[in-house]
């Protein structure tokens, strides 16, 4: 696809995010749009945000829950950058939904890297590179009406990322006697205003959130144009449940079992 066309896509996406408006999926208009081209647009948008003074603090991994693939029309995980302006600890401050388009909430496991995992590392090797783990809520959004898109659209739309809030960090070795097994076996109940919404397990995330991180390592390493992972990056690994629509005034919370990790609560405004 000509570079000028990719530039027009980037400009249209920037405007949609700035003005919180919807637009027709790019893949409907450009059915030959590839994932490589989508990531190229994503790099342009990332460079623009850095030029505007944003600070990149980590990555989000999307579509790591295969139960969602059919409904969303995707088949493989994706990744996108996250920024200091949208990644913060849970501190009781309500998160304003103004500016988000068709927002949804995803309960996730969040890691901070102490070192960059080797591409060929097993799950224990991946775990050895993690400084801390936390339970988090990712707010996702779709600038494509009714959440109808193809995978390249989601890459261009920043992996559908809107915001991340995470609970108290815990050293990985302290969450269980066997942290690797615990991350696959723990259970999570999701509540809205105290009412149960859905339950899930760590294994819903590619079998283990650590496997999602391993997938990210491989994706980034396979793209010579991607910014390499760095120690200190915060990584959110994908939703344990379905992504649920949210509205101002709600309070979302979780209950965890099988893992020694503080459960968070997020109020929306």
pLDDT digit of tens for each residue in the chain (269 aa)?
665 788 999 999 999 999 999 999 999 999 899 999 999 999 999 999 999 999 999 999 988 877 766 666 666 789 999 999 999 999 999 999 999 999 999 999 999 999 999 999 999 999 999 999 999 999 999 999 999 999 999 999 999 999 999 999 999 999 999 999 999 999 999 999 999 999 999 999 999 999 999 999 999 999 999 999 999 999 999 999 999 999 999 999 999 999 999 998 999 99
What is the model's pLDDT at position 65?
75
The helix (H) or strand (E) run that includes residue 124 is: helix 123-127
What is the model's pLDDT at position 72?
61
Please state, as a whole number, how many other Cβ atoms lie within 10 Å of the Cβ of residue 223: 16
Residue 88 has φ and ψ, to the nearest 5°, of: -145, 155
Superfamily grouping for domain 3-267: Fumarylacetoacetase-like, C-terminal domain (3.90.850.10)
What is the model's pLDDT at position 223?
92
pLDDT digits (tens, 9 = 90+) for 216-258: 999 999 999 999 999 999 999 999 999 999 999 999 999 999 9
Joined tokens for residue 12: 């249209």
Joined tokens for residue 199: 């339950």
Contact 198, 166 (CB under 8 A): no
What is the model's pLDDT at position 174?
97
Query: DSSP per residue over 133-192, as a string?
Result: EEEEEEEE--SSGGG---HHHHHHTGGGEEEEEE---B-GGGS-SSHHHHHHH-EEEEEE
pLDDT digits (tens, 9 = 90+) for 132-159: 999 999 999 999 999 999 999 999 999 9
Annotated domain spans of the chain: 3-267
Please state, as a whole number, how many other Cβ atoms lie within 10 Å of the Cβ of residue 186: 23
Contact 187, 258 (CB under 8 A): yes
Candidates 83, 4, 78; CA nearest to 41 is: 4
Residues in the chain: 269
What is the model's pLDDT at position 26?
95
**0.85 surpassed by pTM:** yes
């Amino acid at each position: 696809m000509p570079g000028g066309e990719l530039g027009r896509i980037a400009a249209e996406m920037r405007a949609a995010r700035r003005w919180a408006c919807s637009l027709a999926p790019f893949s409907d208009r450009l059915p030959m749009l590839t994932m490589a081209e989508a990531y190229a647009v994503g790099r342009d948008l990332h460079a623009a945000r850095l030029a505007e003074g944003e600070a990149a603090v980590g990555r989000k991994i999307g579509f790591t829950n295969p139960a969602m693939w059919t409904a969303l029309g995707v088949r493989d995980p994706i990744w996108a950058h996250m920024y200091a302006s949208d990644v913060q600890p849970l501190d009781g401050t309500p998160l304003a939904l103004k500016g988000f388009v068709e927002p949804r909430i995803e309960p996730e496991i969040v890691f901070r890297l102490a070192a960059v995992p080797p591409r060929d590392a097993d799950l224990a090797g991946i775990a050895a590179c993690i400084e801390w783990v936390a339970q988090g809520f990712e707010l996702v959004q779709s600038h494509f009406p009714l959440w109808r898109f193809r995978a390249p659209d989601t890459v261009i739309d920043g992996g559908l990322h809107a915001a991340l809030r995470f609970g108290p960090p815990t050293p990985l070795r302290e969450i269980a006697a066997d942290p690797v097994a615990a991350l696959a076996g723990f259970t999570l109940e999701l509540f809205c205003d105290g009412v149960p919404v859905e339950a899930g397990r760590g294994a819903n995330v590619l079998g283990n959130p650590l496997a999602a991180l391993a997938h990210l390592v491989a994706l980034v390493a396979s793209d010579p144009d991607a910014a390499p992972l760095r120690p200190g990056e915060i990584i959110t690994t994908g939703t344990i449940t379905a992504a649920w629509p949210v509205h101002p005034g709600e309070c979302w919370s979780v209950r965890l079992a099988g893992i020694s990790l503080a459960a968070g609560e997020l109020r929306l405004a």
